[in-house]
Chain A
């Protein structure tokens, strides 16, 4: 079978699953629904594996396959900024190259495990068919996003995952907080899309096409011909606009606010969408556009700074959160910051590497958290947990693996990917020692808050209520087996990217991962220039492990050996603590400055519309009526008066009427009288 020709089937299977469950789900049994949902994703996973394998089998220069299915938007000729015209023609097409191959494997692999896990997690929940319909729809959108061969089809996936995210965050729609969180996610993402769309339009007016191969091919030839220089203003604008889109989807400061709230959704959703796959779409997009980004040092700097700042900012909030899912949510924001930091210093491969390892351990941690919540009948507050290690051992051990991995201890996955990023932030020509320092500090915080979570949840004394305590139970196999598999991934997934430094002692193990990716990514011209000595590299590596150890030690001291210490610190640094606990009041500030101002403006405009715009219409009606009544008055009292006063004739004729009696005798008498008068007149004259 030629899997490379069946690319279109990879997203199509989950789409079919969504359609089946969406239309017939309400009449089917739960077993049937979950079979369809998991089965279709499973088939996608197998197809992805096959495609990946066959792509790998090709010579290095030939790992780019395109498949165009049909003409989607033929909108006619468009004008370019150069004055030329070009057809605005969007094909519905997919492409597979090393970058998208890695992405589909992560998406379908992790996605499949989470689907399986959901069977157990959602077993006692309502809306089973609805849940799996949305999940499958999500898989379709996400696969479309990463397989697209042009910006517009990518945008379809981009918006599609946003929709599914909206629907799944608001899954428990009867809860106001859930519905609010869904809406917030959608609208904040739309703000990001604003940038994405403008970026696309700018790409079209600059290059006359929106196909990846077309745009990047032109960039390459124009850069070689010297038409496009590094720092080109248009390219910088494109990159910044696209990055605004990425900030929305990948929850970077200042558009990160929706992600913590997104935890209102069921936990498998948090694992799949808000940790492992969707939120990494921004990183994927930046990596995909690396050919553009390398031409814009300014945009790269912005990406790196935003990434580094987000990494430490979110980590600091994560230090004090009490909700187990919120800790993980801020951790996700922070880790995404690392990925952008990597992209910003030109190490796109390292960014994607961290994306992959993060997908494993963060999905694992979320699913583990879900298992804890499941065991505790819905409890999410870590202050009411503790001592669960022996009660739910499978969950504990797998989560422990995830924690060690994210904290960056060798030889687990997180160590390799995070260390790669830190090293590149330090050594790359676009890096800076400050970026590195921020990264290391955030790594220490990561270690601290992760072990804090483990200690509060699993170790120490139980702080559960008796009611909850009596119901604690390990999750069923359908949930723990995916945990186990993800734990394996969290250990080994880093081994495909062992740095040269260590690899040279392991039978010259090459850096498989970045080597595989490199044809799909651009490389900044001078990125390899900043080679430092091997000793320094070892030193920095040791330092980052030491920082992680420090975090672990502090967490142990705070939450196991000296439990009074946190209280003490809280009372001592009250302001810092409340600021962190309230997440720097960013939500409140946004509400105050943006949301409420918009509502005020809208209210004022509605009033304006009613009073002024419509008032003008009603006013002119009033004016017309006024003129009408004035002229009516004139008509009635002046013009018509003459006519009406014709009754005067009636009154004037009154004496005459007295004569018209109708009595013959009177007439006769009058006639005779008249004759007498006339005769008398003649006689007298």
Chain B
């Protein structure tokens, strides 16, 4: 029974915890804290059987749960995962636990409501990655907005209301277009097959005519691009990040943004292969963007926006005075890499993109925690308020350094694996895509090292920083798992590639039919004495 409903158990454990939390007296904050942390930890633990029980060789969805829900319109309760969703789910449960753990001291007001919303948020996000019914998907997609809205709006900084409303409305705008697209698919499916269904596997089977592909792709694109966020739909992100409480920022950057890229992977690429490969339909834009290529289609638009995101995000990040805002813009740049990899439409690019999404969740999540730690001590995020912290907080300095290096893609840390494979994939499509991406890496080093220098190096000039305490045990406990993950993915990423290998191959076969039928390149080697392989 547990095995059959494992996904539901993983998805609803946090929600159950939230419901139980409703019964606790709100004055007993210590009890509430312990309880919420334990629930989050259980939430993570129950997701582990997913990893161990997952068959990386099998095709298709696993842990499937399927039941009829609203039969009159063909809505089902349908959960199922492949390797891509698996990684994102474990990222969600893991980061969810760490972010809840990090809120221990940071949240002193309305503690009970805070944890309830955090737990509800977990369920919402997990449902998005598990749903195999578009209706169900949309429900979770929307449900998750509500707790996030309150997290920013209630526990946020001084401009929290502005940020919360902006976040909510902006995302809602995208959601509406998404809903339109979903309905278009739904009715088209009925037209062709005579069945009303929202089932994602069924909708993936169809071949959509070009007009459908073009318009529904655009509708989905806006819905997902706002979430990612791609340039120029990104401006809700810095505001939301700056105003959100630390744990909110961690979840926002770590998981929420991935819902956008996940949407592209799950729907846009395999459903609209003609649209994503399109290189001509926007040729009128050639007049304006002629320097990109002779032709211009949806594919070029995607690549163009990704590359602009990479470079633009990095340059804007460089000039920020607020540490959280800097990290937020760095997210725009990193997610640009993810999108570039996806739209390279080849295995290297997509593999790298998915891995980079996980990496971004880990290292940017850690960066927000890191900024949050000094914010808790000093109540300011102005970079110029700091300086010389290496002297006062040596443990903090080391972890910050490792995460900085992970973020700028130093080999043997996670960022490198993702960026390198993305750029390899992009380069294979067109050398200039790879070249622009590489330029982004140079800029990435510039803004992160400058941030590190301004916060950590130099003498301690601000007397308020003289007696800052180094990390506490709880803070180490939140950061160390992330540091370990950075090294793990950097040194031995093979298991992660293994999980996503099959689903990515399936996507590539959709977007580049015949890709794997091509001939293997001939290789020759120099005569080697005593090659020893393991």
Contact = CB atoms under 8 A, between A and B. Distances in A.
Interface in A257-283: none
B521 A75 contact: no
A47 to B, nearest CB: 16
Interface stretch (B149-157, B247-255, B493-501): B493-501
Contact of B316 (A187, A201, A605): A605
Interface stretch (B127-135, B258-266, B440-448): B440-448
Contacts of A64: 526-529
Interface of B: 166, 169-170, 231-232, 234-236, 312, 315-316, 318-320, 346-348, 351-352, 388, 390-391, 394, 405, 410-412, 416-417, 420-421, 423-425, 427-429, 431, 434-435, 438-439, 441-442, 445-446, 449-450, 453, 456-459, 491-494, 497-498, 501, 504-505, 515-516, 518-521, 523-534
A626 interface: no
A75 B352 contact: yes
Interface stretch (A80-88, A466-474, A490-498): A80-88
A211 B526 CA distance: 10
11 contacts: A66-B528, A66-B530, A76-B497, A78-B428, A174-B458, A187-B445, A193-B442, A197-B423, A202-B427, A213-B525, A617-B166
Contacts of A606: 315-316, 319-320
B235 A617 contact: yes
Nearest to A615: B235
A76 B351 contact: yes
A69 B534 contact: yes
Contacts of A186: 445, 449
Contacts of B352: 75
Given A66-B530, A88-B347, A214-B524, 13 more contacts: A65-B530, A68-B531, A68-B534, A69-B534, A72-B494, A75-B351, A79-B515, A88-B424, A156-B412, A173-B458, A190-B445, A201-B423, A613-B235
Given A77-B515, A85-B521, A194-B442, A602 B494 contact: no
A159 interface: yes
A214 B431 CA distance: 22
Contacts of B453: 179-180, 183
Contacts of A124: none
Contact of B457 (A91, A173, A198): A173
Enumerate the 4 nearest inter-chain pairs by beta-carbon distance, A residue then B residue, closest first.
Answer: A76-B347, A208-B521, A201-B427, A614-B235
Interface stretch (A216-224, A457-465, A538-546, A570-578): A216-224
Nearest to B519: A84
A216 B169 CA distance: 57
Nearest to A7: B532
A204 B457 contact: no
Contact of A80 (B315, B431, B521): B521
B329 to A, nearest CB: 8
Contacts of A601: 315
Contacts of A174: 388, 391, 457-459
Contacts of A616: 232
A89 B324 CA distance: 37
Contacts of B526: 64, 212-214, 216-217, 220
Q: Which secondary structure dominates chain B's binding surface?
A: helix
Nearest to A616: B232
Nearest to B439: A194
A609 interface: yes
Nearest to A192: B442
A87 B405 CA distance: 28
Given A80-B521, A85-B518, A605-B315, A73 B411 contact: no
Given A72-B493, A213-B525, A187 B347 contact: no
A301 interface: no
A190 B444 CA distance: 10
Contacts of B534: 68-70
A217 B458 CA distance: 50
A58 B457 contact: no
A85 B528 contact: no
A684 B101 CA distance: 99
A70 B450 CA distance: 35
A613 B411 CA distance: 35
A75 B344 CA distance: 14
Nearest to B505: A76
Contacts of A176: 457-458
Interface in A498-552: none
Contacts of B530: 4, 65-66
B244 to A, nearest CB: 17
Q: Interface of chain A, helix or strand or loop or mixed?
A: helix
Contacts of B312: 605, 609
B497 A75 contact: yes
Contacts of B318: 598-599, 602
Interface centre among B394, B493, B529 (most CB of A within 10 A): B529
A146 B459 CA distance: 37
Q: Which has the most chain B C-beta neighbours within 10 Å: A26, A198, A207, A220?
A: A198
Contact of A159 (B411, B421, B523): B411
B320, B346, B515, most chain A CB atoms within 10 A: B346
A84 B516 CA distance: 9
A136 to B, nearest CB: 15
A591 interface: no
Contacts of B428: 78-80, 201, 204-205
A174 B397 CA distance: 13
B457 A163 contact: no
Contacts of B234: 613
Given A64-B528, A197-B423, A78 B494 contact: no
Contacts of B492: 70, 72
Given A76-B504, A186-B445, A66 B531 contact: yes
A635 interface: no
Given A64-B529, A201-B424, A194 B521 contact: no
A558 interface: no
Contacts of A4: 530
B523 A209 contact: yes
A193 to B, nearest CB: 8
A65 B427 contact: no
Nearest to B332: A609
A603 interface: yes
A245 B232 CA distance: 33
A665 interface: no
A630 to B, nearest CB: 20
A587 interface: no
A646 interface: no
Contact of B494 (A74, A180, A204, A212): A74
B82 to A, nearest CB: 15
| Most chain A Cβ neighbours within 10 Å, of B319, B435, B494, B501 | B319
Given A187-B446, A194-B442, A599-B319, A204 B532 contact: no
A555 B268 CA distance: 73
Given A84-B519, A84-B520, A183-B450, A205 B427 contact: yes
B394 to A, nearest CB: 8
Nearest to B516: A77
B506 to A, nearest CB: 12
Contact of B235 (A61, A220, A609): A609
Contacts of B410: 159-160, 163
Nearest to A159: B411
A5 B519 contact: no
Q: Which of B236, B391, B449, B505 has the most CB of A within 10 A?
A: B449
B449 A187 contact: yes
A495 to B, nearest CB: 29
A197 B457 CA distance: 30
A183 B439 CA distance: 17
B359 to A, nearest CB: 13
Nearest to A601: B315
A88 B421 contact: yes
B529 to A, nearest CB: 5
Interface in A33-89: 58, 61-80, 82-86, 88
Interface centre among A84, A156, A605 (most CB of B within 10 A): A605
